[in-house]
Amino acid sequence: MEQQAGKRHLIDELLLIANKNHASDLIVRTGDRVRMRINGAIVTVDSSKIAEISREQTIDMIRHISRHIPNTPDIESVHNLDFHYTLEDACHFRAHVLRSNNNFGIVARLIPQKIPSFNELRLPPVIADITNNRNGLILMAGSAGSGKSTTLAAMLNHMIRERPIHAVTLEDPVEFNYSTNHQGTVSQREIGTDVASYAQGLKDALRESPDVIVAGEVRGRADIQLALQAGETGHLVMATVHATTAVGTMQRIMSAFTLDEQDAIRERLAENLRAIIVQKLLPLKSGKGRIVALEIMIKNSVIKHFILDPGQWSEIPRAIEQGHSLYSSQTFDQHLQELVESDQIEYEEALANAVFPEDFVMRMDRE
């Protein structure tokens, strides 16, 4: 399907519309109407404005946005494909191509061209304090689409602004671009393009004179071992995990190992962990955007003691709450209460997202 001279490709038009409407995602599928995710909710574009997308159109869109990636595959043989796509001077996207019912779809996640500041993301001052660590392991957790990558990018951007460091990132694909005009610098490596695999990238990073390694998502035993090793050898390692609480994050780490290995991993985790940040994005009461709800666990002597004893892990949420005034740690439910009391989110939204709903009702003095 050829485009008329000077006319934008349909997918580019759709991406620009998504950007203009502050969508986080554009969803295009064969035989379906165009949809966008705006403020966390799916919004459907009326078919009178944009008709259902045909198979031919979808394939043509995929060819268009994937035309610059190395070794572009035959689209008909693709089952999934991940890459980044940029509309110059407009917007940047992380694109995912999927096969569905023997047809195709595209999900494009909007990546801000400018890395947001802590203030713009409404992150508390303790996040800046966490970036002052010089070694060890910082874990960022949350579900897909919770903004983990954006928060990590803001943390790394803060670091290179504040001190002369060399950071190495492993990304799949590369999302944000870091300025070279700061005190520090960032070497970004894309899996499959700059380095063959995640494991190889982590091994290479140790030889690349890093102060900070942003390791991306740690998924399995080998990845976790390498991340721990890097933290143990004097580097600050930041990695992401799919989990919904601080304790759940550690449980996810432990589940990658056999029972015989878990005692040793607990000891290494207790020694090298610096903080766990878990986040969710919730709709503002005003209806104008979303706000981040955070669980922040700062490792201290009490938390370290509990990590070493799996029978005490149920006590960790209480220890996080009790450490709020001294360490600025907080549980999800603590922060949800604060967001309700400051009139930023609805009570019903907070209750639906509370870790312990019955306790949250009592916490809020509601029946």
Please state whether beta strands 236-241 and 212-217 pair in parallel, antiparallel, or not at all (unpaired).
parallel
213, 152 contact by CB (below 8 A): no
Which tens digits make up the pLDDT trace of 263-311? 999 999 999 999 999 999 999 999 888 999 999 999 999 999 999 999 9
Region 84-109: mean pLDDT is 91
Q: With the C-alpha atoms ordered 62, 67, 70, 75, is the resulting torsion angle positive or negative?
A: positive
The Cα 86–Cα 111 span in angstroms is 10
Which tens digits make up the pLDDT trace of 24-48? 999 999 999 999 999 889 999 999 9
Q: What is the DSSP string of 195-230?
A: BS-HHHHHHHHTTS--SEEEEEE--SHHHHHHHHHH
Q: With the C-alpha atoms ordered 139, 142, 143, 148, is the resulting torsion angle positive or negative?
A: negative
Per-residue confidence (pLDDT) for residue 29, from 0 to 100? 96
Residue 162 three-state SS:
helix
pLDDT of residue 250 exceeding 50, the answer is yes
Crossing angle of the two packed helices 259-272 and 246-254, in degrees rounded to 10 = 130
Fold of 10-111: Beta-Lactamase (3.30.450)
Per-residue confidence (pLDDT) for residue 1, from 0 to 100? 38
Q: What is the CA radius of gyration of the chain?
A: 22
Q: Which of 227-231, 336-340, 342-346 has the lowest mean pLDDT?
A: 227-231
The Cα 70–Cα 194 span in angstroms is 11
Report the Cα–Cα distance between both ends of the chain, in Å, rounded. Answer: 60
Per-residue confidence (pLDDT) for residue 249, from 0 to 100? 97
Backbone φ and ψ of 361, nearest 5°: -60, -45
The Cα 97–Cα 316 span in angstroms is 40
5, 14 contact by CB (below 8 A): no
Which tens digits make up the pLDDT trace of 156-194? 999 999 999 999 999 988 889 999 999 999 999 998 889
Q: Which residues does 119 contact at the CB level (< 8 Å), separation at least 6?
A: none
Per-residue confidence (pLDDT) for residue 279, from 0 to 100? 97
pLDDT of residue 258 exceeding 50, the answer is yes
In this prediction, what percent of the chain has a pLDDT beyond 70?
A: 98
Per-residue confidence (pLDDT) for residue 88, from 0 to 100? 80
Q: Which residues does 34 contact at the CB level (< 8 Å), separation at least 6?
A: 14, 26, 27, 28, 44, 45, 50, 53
Q: Which residues does 155 contact at the CB level (< 8 Å), separation at least 6?
A: 127, 130, 131, 238
Q: Could you tell me the pLDDT band of residue 334, with boundaries at 50, 70 and 90?
A: very high
Per-residue confidence (pLDDT) for residue 161, from 0 to 100? 97
pLDDT of residue 3 exceeding 70, the answer is no
Q: Which phi-psi region, left, alpha or beta, contains residue 62 (left: φ > 0; alpha: ψ -120 to 50)?
A: alpha
The Cα 120–Cα 97 span in angstroms is 30
The full set of domain ranges for the chain reads 10-111, 118-330
Other beta carbons within 10 angstroms of residue 354's beta carbon come to: 20
Which tens digits make up the pLDDT trace of 42-95? 999 999 999 999 999 999 999 999 998 877 778 888 899 988 899 987 788 999
Per-residue confidence (pLDDT) for residue 261, from 0 to 100? 96
pTM, full prediction = 0.87
The Cα 339–Cα 333 span in angstroms is 10
Tokens at 81, concatenated:
């494909």
pLDDT of residue 367 exceeding 70, the answer is no
The DSSP 8-state label assigned to residue 244 in this structure reads S
Tokens at 149, concatenated:
């990558």
Please give the mean pLDDT across all residues of the chain.
93
Per-residue confidence (pLDDT) for residue 6, from 0 to 100? 57
Per-residue confidence (pLDDT) for residue 89, from 0 to 100? 72
The Cα 359–Cα 332 span in angstroms is 12
Residue 53 belongs to what H/E stretch?
Answer: none
Per-residue confidence (pLDDT) for residue 2, from 0 to 100? 42
Tell me the CATH number for domain 118-330: 3.40.50.300
Which tens digits make up the pLDDT trace of 110-153? 988 889 999 999 999 999 999 999 999 999 999 988 999 999 99
